[in-house]
């Protein structure tokens, strides 16, 4: 269908004057749901990043979004369960002044993860499309021979053809770091298994291997799972690059050489296509090493002693139309370190930002009041309860939304990060949701377009707008 590129006017001056106080607005182009290269620096390694939508084939945008939100529910439930139950992963860490990086692509169209990056695995290198996941630690990929494997984009890695592949012995310290490890006594080979909250599971041999990144940078002896038995919602990607804070995550493993810092910028989920993925346009990079720490608005990381994997921050408030929302209370969003409950994490794999129910209700009501000139759509869509009928419009004015963090950091969201198209008829929904699961999550829809910096050396998280 033709791209909708014009502009419309929705909240007129008379509407704005009717509000209790002056409200800040964005002009927002109403693109409907169907519209829509890396170099290695001396101080960092870079990869291109792509959204999974870039690989979509036969699904409509509305179908893709519906599937994405279904996955999102399962992931958010898994995160809440894990945070409540607690988990353990310790980080260890002379480093070089270099770094590594890779392309990142959006994977919405494929049905698993959300954002992908391409790396090389083994010697010679086999190209592998990996899900970026800040919410887990173990690096793994599908391996031949497969007892049970899902369809992936590109060849399945065969460790028998790699000269750098090394099995991990059952008695090795690496094996003991696994939360769910085992031993093949006949081969004295360490085994791993990772189960996800949506029922997906990967299992196989735990090994070390060489990974190759953009520009030819190579990192040897990365501990990873070589999965011979994989099932569930992993679609298209060869595996997963765990970016959490635990001892087996990729950033922790390379910290002696590159430090504990990395950053990514997630492209607009509607901007990717198979052609742009192939050409490298409208994509971004994930960068590891000192060069990843960009100029950004920083807030301290918060540590949850019961769950080392997640990146917690302190969200202290949200503004709508330039005014703080009184009902978004810091007390509702604060982590309780004694129980591990509550708090706010930044997560690459969750799409929609979820806030503790009282805070979400206050935010939604403030947005509705400030957007009184927009025509509400009856009902909702999936987990969204606030949608607008913008059919026939070109550009509308929408109230601004900004997130405020401890230490004075702020992320002023562009309108496409909180008002998203859900069908081809011009229905747009407010892309936040409430949760009763304990932990609040800043999802990748709200992160898109920002360079998000995870500065493990400085123990802080940063947000740099227009960073892709």
| Residues 322, 388 share a domain | yes
| Residues 242, 121 share a domain | yes
Within a domain: 287: no
| Residues 215, 117 share a domain | yes
Domain count, the chain: 2
| Range of weakest confidence among 3-12, 95-104, 343-352, 385-394 | 3-12
| Residues 300, 431 share a domain | yes
pLDDT for residue 1 is more than 70: no
| pLDDT number for residue 272 | 46
Within a domain: 91: no
| pLDDT number for residue 453 | 95
* pLDDT (mean) for 22-29: 68
| Residues 229, 147 share a domain | yes
Q: CA Rg, the chain, in Å?
A: 22
| Residues 305, 171 share a domain | no
Within a domain: 115: yes
Per the model's pLDDT, the better-predicted residue between 271 and 92 turns out to be 271
Q: Look-up: residue for tokens 């750098």?
A: 164
Within a domain: 272: no
Which residues are marked as active site? 133, 347
Q: Measured between alpha carbons, how far is 466 from 450 in angstroms, rounded to an integer? A: 5
Using the 3D structure, point to which of 250, 266, 282 is the last residue of a domain: 266
Omega prior to 145 cis, within 30 of 0 = yes
Q: Which alpha helices (DSSP H) does 51-162 contain, by range?
A: 61-85
pLDDT confidence bin for 345, thresholds 50/70/90: very high
| pLDDT number for residue 106 | 54
| Residues 449, 395 share a domain | yes
Distances (CA, A) of 281 to 50, 122, 213, 430: 10, 27, 19, 28
pLDDT confidence bin for 19, thresholds 50/70/90: very low
pLDDT for residue 98 is more than 80: no
Within a domain: 28: no
Within a domain: 67: no
| Residues 177, 319 share a domain | no
Distances (CA, A) of 81 to 78, 136, 172: 5, 13, 30
| pLDDT number for residue 225 | 97
| Residues 439, 322 share a domain | yes
| pLDDT number for residue 195 | 84
| Residues 201, 314 share a domain | no
Q: Measured between alpha carbons, how far is 287 from 215 in angstroms, rounded to an integer? A: 12
| Residues 229, 126 share a domain | yes
* pLDDT (mean) for 78-97: 50
The neighbour count for residue 171, using CB atoms within 10 Å, is 10
| Range of weakest confidence among 95-109, 234-248, 383-397 | 95-109
Using the 3D structure, point to which of 232, 266, 300 is the last residue of a domain: 266
| Range of weakest confidence among 96-110, 345-359, 376-390 | 96-110
Within a domain: 27: no
Residues 144-189 pLDDT 10s: 999 999 889 899 999 999 999 999 999 999 999 998 889 999 999 9
| pLDDT number for residue 58 | 67
Within a domain: 214: yes
Using the 3D structure, point to which of 266, 300, 332 is the last residue of a domain: 266
pLDDT for residue 348 is more than 80: yes
| pLDDT number for residue 88 | 34
pLDDT confidence bin for 334, thresholds 50/70/90: very high
| Range of weakest confidence among 10-14, 100-104, 112-116 | 10-14
pLDDT confidence bin for 16, thresholds 50/70/90: very low
Work out the angle at residue 134's Cα, subtended by the Cα atoms of residues 132 and 137, and round it to the nearest 5 degrees: 95
| Beta-carbon contacts of residue 281 (< 8 Å; ≥ 6 apart) | none
Measuring CA to CA, which residue among 133, 326, 335 is closest to residue 241? 133
| Residues 362, 262 share a domain | no
What CATH number should be reported for the domain holding residue 177? 2.40.70.10
Residues 206-265 pLDDT 10s: 999 999 987 788 999 999 999 999 987 677 889 999 999 999 999 999 999 889 999 998
The domain in which residue 359 lies consists of 292-465
Instruction: Quote the distance between the C-alpha of residue 150 and its chain's center.
Output: 22
Average pLDDT, the chain: 81
Measuring CA to CA, which residue among 170, 78, 444 is closest to residue 284? 444
């Amino acid at each position: 269908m033709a791209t909708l590129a014009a502009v419309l006017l929705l909240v007129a001056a008379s509407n704005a004057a009717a509000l209790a106080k002056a409200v800040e607005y964005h002009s927002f182009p109403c693109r409907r749901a169907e519209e829509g290269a890396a170099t290695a620096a001396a101080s960092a390694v870079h990869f291109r990043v792509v959204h999974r939508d870039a690989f979509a084939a036969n699904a409509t945008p509305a179908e893709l979004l519906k599937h994405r939100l279904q996955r999102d529910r399962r992931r958010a439930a898994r995160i809440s369960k894990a945070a409540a139950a607690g988990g353990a992963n310790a980080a260890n860490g002379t480093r070089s002044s270099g770094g590594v990086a890779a392309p990142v692509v959006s994977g919405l169209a494929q049905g698993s993860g959300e954002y992908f990056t391409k790396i090389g695995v083994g010697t010679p290198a086999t190209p592998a499309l990996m899900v970026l996941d800040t919410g887990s630690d173990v690096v793994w990929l599908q391996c031949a021979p497969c007892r049970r494997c899902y369809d992936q984009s590109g060849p399945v890695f065969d460790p028998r053809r790699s000269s750098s592949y090394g099995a991990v012995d059952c008695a090795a310290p690496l094996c003991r770091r696994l939360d769910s490890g085992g031993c093949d006594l006949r081969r004295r080979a360490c085994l791993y298994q990772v189960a996800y909250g949506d029922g997906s599971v990967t299992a196989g041999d735990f090994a070390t291997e060489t990974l190759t990144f953009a520009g030819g940078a190579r990192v040897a002896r990365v501990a990873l799972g070589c999965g011979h038995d994989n099932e569930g919602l992993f679609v298209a990607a060869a595996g997963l690059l765990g970016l959490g804070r635990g001892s087996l995550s990729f950033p922790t493993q390379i910290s002696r050489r590159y430090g504990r810092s990395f950053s990514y910028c997630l492209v607009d989920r509607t901007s990717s296509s198979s052609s742009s993925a192939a050409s490298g346009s409208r994509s971004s990079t994930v960068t590891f090493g000192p060069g990843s720490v960009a100029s950004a608005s920083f807030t301290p990381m918060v540590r949850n002693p019961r769950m080392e994997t997640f990146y917690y921050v302190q969200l202290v408030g949200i503004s709508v139309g330039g005014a703080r929302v009184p009902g978004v209370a810091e007390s509702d969003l604060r982590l309780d370190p004694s129980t591990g409950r509550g708090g706010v994490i930044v997560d690459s794999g969750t799409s929609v930002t979820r806030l503790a129910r009282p805070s979400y209700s206050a935010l939604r009501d403030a947005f509705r009041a400030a957007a009184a000139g927009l025509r509400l759509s009856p009902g909702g869509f999936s987990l969204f309860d606030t949608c607008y009928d913008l059919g026939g419009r070109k550009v509308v004015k929408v109230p601004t939304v900004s997130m405020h963090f401890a230490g004075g950091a702020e992320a002023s969201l562009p309108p496409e990060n909180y008002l998203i198209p859900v069908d081809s008829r011009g229905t747009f929904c407010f892309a936040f949701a409430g949760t009763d699961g304990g932990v609040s999550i800043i999802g990748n829809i709200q992160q898109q377009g920002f360079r998000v910096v995870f500065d493990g050396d400085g123990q802080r998280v940063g947000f740099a707008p227009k960073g892709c």
